[in-house]
Amino acid sequence: MVKVVEKLKEFRWEKYGVEYVVLFGSAVKGGVFHDIDLAVRFKDYCFEKYVNLLCSLAAFIGVREDHIDLVVLDERTPAQLVLEIFEKGVVIYYRDWEWFVEDSLRLINISSDFVRDLEKLGVIEAAVKEVKKSWE
């Protein structure tokens, strides 16, 4: 994992309008990993930037594009995934430290509130009960 992190830190993220990057998933946990999971916060996201970043990053690291999973971090990213990224991930790059801290805390708070509300309302338990009923 150390070699992957070092290589990722050498990449020119700012060239692609990236605000910050967090490595997460199996590459952080250690041991064998088959892909590289990266959460990327773009300054101004567009699909063309995403594709350009993915292709350039794969060439830079020396892997195929399908061995890199780029997750665009924004308000639409699933809450559980946001929490996993910031809880277990490793920060690879940030353009501005203060903005990174402010933005990541904002995303964590939104996600935590959402998960807490789901638990309070019993939404997950109700959905599980309905699925079990349909199996009977």
Q: Exposed e or buried b for every residue in 20-56, given b needs 16+ CB within 10 A?
A: bbbbbbebbeeeeeeebbbbbbbeeeeeebeeebbee
CA distances from 27 to 31, 71, 84 (A): 8, 15, 14
CA separation for the pair 12, 21 (Å, rounded): 12
Confidence of residue 114 (pLDDT cuts 50, 70, 90): confident
Q: What is the arithmetic mean of pLDDT over 88-109?
A: 95
Q: What percent of the chain has pLDDT over 90?
A: 64
CATH class of the domain defined by 2-135: alpha beta
Mean pLDDT (the chain) is 89
What pLDDT is recorded for position 117? 74
Confidence of residue 30 (pLDDT cuts 50, 70, 90): low
Which helix (H) or strand (E) segment holds residue 33: the answer is none
What pLDDT is recorded for position 15? 96
Which helix (H) or strand (E) segment holds residue 22: the answer is strand 18-24
Domain residue limits, the chain: 2-135
